[in-house]
Structure 1
Amino acid sequence: MGKQARKKLRPVAAVTAVAVMALSALSVRAPSVAAATGPDTVQQNLNRLVRSDGLPAALASVTERAGRTRTYVAGVGDLATGSKVPRDGQVRIGSNTKTFTAVVVLQLVGEGRVGLDAPVDTYLPGLVRGEDIDGRHITVRQLLQHTSGLPNYTEHDDLQPRPYHPRDLLDIALRHKADFAPGAKWAYSNTNYVLAGLIAEKVTGRPLAQEIDRRIIQRLGLRHTYFPAPGDVTIREPHPHGYHRESANGPLRDITEMDPSWSWAAGQLISTNSDLNRFFSELLRGRLLPDAQLAQMRTTVPADYFGRGAGYGLGLVSRPLSCGGVYWGHGGSFPGYETRGGATEHGRRAAHIAVTTQPTDKTVMERVDATVDEALCP
């Protein structure tokens, strides 16, 4: 997977797996996953992911231009009981959360309360200091676009299964040297979005969870999306269980219940595939941002970390489609779950897929990504 290879989970304690990983959307494009065409291709591909690739479950939602949404499931929702996979069940969406956080910050930019090219110190004076790290020389734009050079806190320390405050996560990052000078290049770092969330809280005077709920979730009617509180290890609504293997041949361990606060503004949200379809579609239609801020969000730099030809904007990723053009989304990793997907230009068509373990085989992720491509290229 190149320089930004996935960081594997490492064990902590005796009963869980540490929630340390890139909270990323690593992907490598594949030309195809199935020879079949037509309306059942998505279902056939999900079946293959379960039967041939050994994933416990796979869920998908495809929203067509006319607004019709089709949902698909394959596999087993709970390996212990053999229960069915709930259609459009809730999952931990990992780094898709970054797009929500970016929207809140860009709304504040549109309101004149945050400047994209203002230094972080404008809003969090004196907070960001470390070896070769100075918040007076890092801009808000660089946070949102991963060009700040800030070290990624999830790459350096074992995070324990306990509640975290965002400042705890920042402290972990600031114990390490900067990766590069601000603006010198691009590198994925969850620390950027912890700071973006802290800026939103400082400017609004309200918790980030409330701002995401008020500004996005309620506005779009995302009825199955929420920001769990620190210490809330559960998933509220029907959901497939999430699993993790300690080794390639090891047994699948149920890690569904986990305190999510270690990921905060970078990856804490819980949602469904259909809610994600609606979110990205409405974002691209201009429902959430003024034209100027949406244009900034869609201005990308190369980010092959997300696959060949991918670009990273301000919390938004573009990927090429096999049928021409691109689609916009993000993708997310969280222990027990992987999500991939996005929407085509102007939100005309959207698709998201979730699987209930983090695949370690690159070819499996290629097939997940290619299923998204086929769903968006009817």
Structure 2
Amino acid sequence: MTDTDLDGLLPELVALLDTATRENHVPGAAVAVSDGDQVIELATGVLNLNTGVAATPDSLFQIGSITKTLTATLTMQLVEAGLVDLDEPARTYVPELTVSDPAAAESVTVRQLLSHTSGLPGDVFTDFGRGDDAVLRYVEGLKDHDQMYEPGRMFSYCNAAYSVLGLLVQRIRELPSWEAALREHLIAPLGLTHMAALPEEALLFRTAVGHLDGPDGGQQVAPIWQLPRSAAPAGASTAARARDLIAFARAHMNGGLAQDGTRILSEASVAAMREQQVALPGSGNLLGTGWGLGFALIDRPGGLVVGHDGGTIGQTSRLRFAPDKGVAFSVLTNGGDALPVFEAVERAVFGALAGIEAQSRDVPPQPAVPIEAEPFLGSYADAGQRVDIVRSHDGGLQAVLTPLGAIAALTGPDPQYKPLVGYTPSSLLDAEPERGRYLEYAVPEVDEQGRATHLFLGGRIHTRMSDADALRYPLLENRPDVRPTVDHSPPADVDLG
């Protein structure tokens, strides 16, 4: 594409960004778009509703789990240097790694950590303070958590795996912290002048705060700015401007070369990060159709899209690039319903510059797909959430979602009750949207009785609980419209006691 094409898109992007943020109660947003060597950037709204400071293209927003792509790139630099073997057990480099299943901890490979197939507990956000040892103490603390499934068996989005990778990078680089490795081996060589790994660094810039839904239906400033530093390599606190994320994406599209010609990875390593390691269950409309070494892979009509989303406390982000078309965009937001904003930008950018159809949402089919209820019924859990699939008194199916652990501390312990409809022969879908999104409840595999061994929801695997574990939590006794269903499956590996 030409410079004129990208410049011609700017007025449309300005108008749609202003409209989409206003209609979806997003306080502020920033966007950058790249087509070949050309970049445009824009911003709208405010960084903080309490202060009214305006968002600008140079403003920093938290990028959340897009950080994982940085950690993955740091790891691949070590692989390329011959210091790490992708298929070597991670404990070769991080001997502190252990979970309740010693055999699993001993066999988890670096490749499985990168591709979210390790089976480690995903949403563990234990706070080990602000010291440089926070990530080390976090990895040591995984010994108190259960392995979810055998390494390599299936995909489950895993924050813990990236804290392990962060410690691996820190240790092999012989640096005091993961943040130091990020600065020395990515931020500096890529010339990222507006990226901060710690909050005291972000304070030097024009930086957004997160916003959450307030009691009056509007947005209010979030009470805390960041997640624990122990999850920094997974995305707890990294902040950046939209243009700096585009510079990172362009290096991946340019065969590992920064804009000034500095090489951060070889062409072979860049290509390897986009090779599918695992197919994702379900429709692929939430996270993607597959996963590489750090990146989501999204097969769309018109071409392959690569990227990652991010979410912290009141801030959400999206990075997408089409490697075969040389087009990339990033969107950073600080509250409200960001999904329609992401979708509007994606439709405009990929439609005009790449000829790629934007990622679609899951929506209930009309009529609903007939399904057998028995494979789904039961109780499931991961480190951050319990899910009960039960029959309601009208004969339909309902999901009861209850936060657990640190997630419950952040969001509150109250369960959500969601009616479900048949979506595909092996998945259910919310009957009613939450912020316009219908979540899919997919079954990746069944046991010899035809019952789901796991439930795939929100990118996470939830393991079927035993009767004893499920009955420890009588969540449904005060809901007259819900009839609990006792699951008679064999004991599972999950122990929430």
CA distance in 1, matches of 2:287, 2:180: 36
**RCO higher in 1 or 2 (8 Å CA, sep ≥ 6)?**
1
CA distance in 1, matches of 2:174, 2:126: 31
CA distance in 1, matches of 2:347, 2:20: 15
The answer to whether the aligner puts 1:294 opposite 2:294 as a matched pair is: no
Are the aligned partners of 2:112 and 2:152 in contact in 1 as well (CA < 8 Å)? yes
State the one-letter code of the partner of 1:222.
Answer: L
Q: Residues 256, 377 of structure 1: CA spacing in aligned structure 2 closer, same or farther, 3 A cutoff?
A: farther
Q: Which of these residues, 300, 317, 337, is aligned with residue 296 of structure 2? A: 317
SS at match of 1:377: helix
1:318-346 Cα deviation digits (max 9, x unpaired): 22445x10222212111121111222215
Are the aligned partners of 1:298 and 1:314 in contact in 2 as well (CA < 8 Å)? yes
Q: Residues 174, 353 of structure 1: CA spacing in aligned structure 2 closer, same or farther, 3 A cutoff?
A: same
Are the aligned partners of 2:50 and 2:221 in contact in 1 as well (CA < 8 Å)? no
Q: Which of these residues, 30, 46, 61, is aligned with residue 59 of structure 1? A: 30
CA RMSD, aligned part only? 2.7
1:142-164 Cα deviation digits (max 9, x unpaired): 0000000000243xx67598667
Q: Which of these residues, 58, 61, 70, is aligned with residue 88 of structure 1? A: 58
Aligned to 1:181: 150
State the one-letter code of the partner of 2:267.
Answer: D
**CA apart distance, 1:47:** 1.7
Aligned to 1:23: none
**CA apart distance, 1:179:** 1.2
Are the aligned partners of 1:58 and 1:354 in contact in 2 as well (CA < 8 Å)? yes
SS at match of 2:212: strand
Structure with higher Rg: it is 2
SS at match of 1:50: helix
State the one-letter code of the partner of 2:270.
Answer: L
Are the aligned partners of 2:24 and 2:336 in contact in 1 as well (CA < 8 Å)? no
**CA apart distance, 1:63:** 1.8
State the one-letter code of the partner of 2:268.
Answer: A
Q: Residues 146, 296 of structure 1: CA spacing in aligned structure 2 closer, same or farther, 3 A cutoff?
A: same
CA distance in 2, matches of 1:184, 1:95: 23
Aligned to 1:103: 73
1:251-278 Cα deviation digits (max 9, x unpaired): 5124464465142110132111000001
CA distance in 2, matches of 1:162, 1:214: 20
State the one-letter code of the partner of 1:120.
Answer: A
Structure 1 alignment gaps of length 5 or more: 1-36
Q: Residues 277, 240 of structure 1: CA spacing in aligned structure 2 closer, same or farther, 3 A cutoff?
A: same
Q: Residues 161, 49 of structure 1: CA spacing in aligned structure 2 closer, same or farther, 3 A cutoff?
A: farther
State the one-letter code of the partner of 1:244.
Answer: L
Are the aligned partners of 2:315 and 2:334 in contact in 1 as well (CA < 8 Å)? yes
Q: List aligned pairs for 1:111-122, cutoff 5 A.
A: 111-122=81-92
Aligned to 2:330: 352
Figure out how many residues of one structure are paired with residues of the other and give that number: 332
SS at match of 1:350: strand
1:148-190 Cα deviation digits (max 9, x unpaired): 0000243xx6759866701333355432211111000000010
Aligned to 2:472: none
State the one-letter code of the partner of 1:294.
Answer: V
Are the aligned partners of 1:43 and 1:72 in contact in 2 as well (CA < 8 Å)? yes
Q: More deviation in 68-77 or 304-313? A: 304-313
The answer to whether the aligner puts 1:261 opposite 2:229 as a matched pair is: yes
CA distance in 2, matches of 1:338, 1:223: 21
SS at match of 1:149: coil
Aligned to 2:172: 203
CA distance in 1, matches of 2:274, 2:251: 14
Q: List aligned pairs for 1:24-43, cutoff 5 A.
A: 38-43=9-14
SS at match of 2:196: coil
Are the aligned partners of 2:98 and 2:142 in contact in 1 as well (CA < 8 Å)? no
Give the fraction of aligned pairs with identical amino acids, expressed as a percent. 26
